[in-house]
Amino acid sequence: MAQQDIFVTRPCIPPLEEYIDQIRPLWESKWLTNMGDLHRQLEQALRQKLGVDRLSLFVNGHLALEGILQAMELSGEVITTPFTFASTTHAIVRRGLTPVFCDIKETDGTIDERKIEALITEKTSAILPVHVYGNCCNVEAIGQIARRHGLKVIYDAAHAFGVKLNGKGIGSFGDASIFSFHATKVFNTIEGGAVSFRDPALAPALCEAKNFGILDEETVVFAGGNAKMNEFQAAMGLCNLRHFDEEIAKRQALVTAYCQQLSGIPGLRMLRQRPGVRPNYAYFPILIEAEEAGTDRNTLYQALRDYHIFTRKYFYPLITDFDCYKDQYAQTPLPVAKKIASQVLTLPLYGDLGLENVEMICHAVKKILCK
């Protein structure tokens, strides 16, 4: 039994003095938002950290996604995954586009690239896969399909900050990628997000999308919203960036311990990264095959709560089962997504969790499953 409640995650925050030093100049400049100096510094630092040429900050990851869909002027259908957070589909729908759901792979939970082509119609304008949990999609195959059919590819890389594939930043694949810097992510700006993008011509449209469509003081070119990151968020980002590598190293040690202690338990399976990936250890999902484990995912979830261990069912229910989407869109079979959503449980993972807590959580999991 945990002494204190253990949550699925806790934000990484810098020493208070460091943050105060970072925001102190704002009392002098009185420049609090609307693309200030700290915003400019963070944008620059993140381009380097993420290994991307072009990046635009947003107030959160969701509005970064809506912003890039608006800037690209997409229409019609977008092929995407049902195994994700609400934001991915909501952004598509809120931009007036139609989501078309593709099944996922058993191995890593990302979109099944072998099933994409069958879903393409004359209305399809883009593919929007998700690097779920920071697991890399098959970007090469998806790129080939997109080129064959003249489609845009926008990755939801909300979970994938700092991930590299064959030495390249994950945000450099496809036409664009969005990142989330929410408090629950490996790198946070309290709330925050960004879009990295390939085509330099998109830069003005992205600025306008986050700033009311304003081109200059007297010219407003389209109905943009307000999605600007403020200076206090940027300051948190600049501080957290200094501690990012340390956070990842701590998480790596915790994940290694989880994997060692949970391997070989009948009915408990873990997802796998594809080869060539430098991971960011954003989440630690496990899958429970009820028949073999003798206990189902929901029972494990509840029993862990009784031990004060608050896991999450990321991502259950599937998006297609949300009240707002049920029976709304053409139903393609999604057997793998359905199965994984019913089996998945995301265990606590954050830098300060501590190896002793990982040990205690694994002990509780084994006790519940092996009783």
Q: Which residue ranges make up the site for ligand T4K (CB under 6 A)?
A: 7-11, 60-62, 84-85, 87-88, 130, 156, 158-159, 180, 182-184, 193, 310, 314
Q: Which residue has 């200030």 as its token pair? A: 36
Backbone angles phi, psi at 313, to 5 degrees: -95, 60
Residue nearer to ligand T4K on the CB measure, 139 or 293: 139
Q: How far is the CB of 188 from ligand T4K (least distance, A)?
A: 9
Residue nearer to ligand T4K on the CB measure, 56 or 60: 60
Contact 160, 170 (CB under 8 A): yes
Query: In this structure, what token pair is assigned to residue 63?
Result: 């509005």
Alpha-carbon dihedral 176, 177, 181, 184, rounded to 10 degrees: 160
Q: Which of 311, 252, 301 is nearest to 277 (CA)?
A: 252
Residue nearer to ligand T4K on the CB measure, 131 or 164: 131
Residue nearer to ligand T4K on the CB measure, 194 or 362: 194
Residue nearer to ligand T4K on the CB measure, 281 or 293: 281
Residue nearer to ligand T4K on the CB measure, 52 or 190: 190
Q: Which of 263, 272, 270 is nearest to 110 (CA)?
A: 272
CB burial of residue 7 (10 Å; 0-12, 13-18, 19+): middle
Q: How far is the CB of 9 from ligand T4K (least distance, A)?
A: 5
The Cα-based distances of 167 to 162, 170, 235, 278 in angstroms read: 11, 9, 28, 8
- SS3 for 57-106 is EECCHHHHHHHHHHHCCCCCEEEECCCCCHHHHHHHHHCCCEEEECCECC
Find the residue with minimal CB distance to ligand T4K.
Answer: 61
Q: How far is the CB of 28 from ligand T4K (least distance, A)?
A: 29
Q: How far is the CB of 313 from ligand T4K (least distance, A)?
A: 10
Q: How far is the CB of 249 from ligand T4K (least distance, A)?
A: 21
Q: How far is the CB of 24 from ligand T4K (least distance, A)?
A: 24
Report the 10 Å Cβ neighbour count for 354: 13
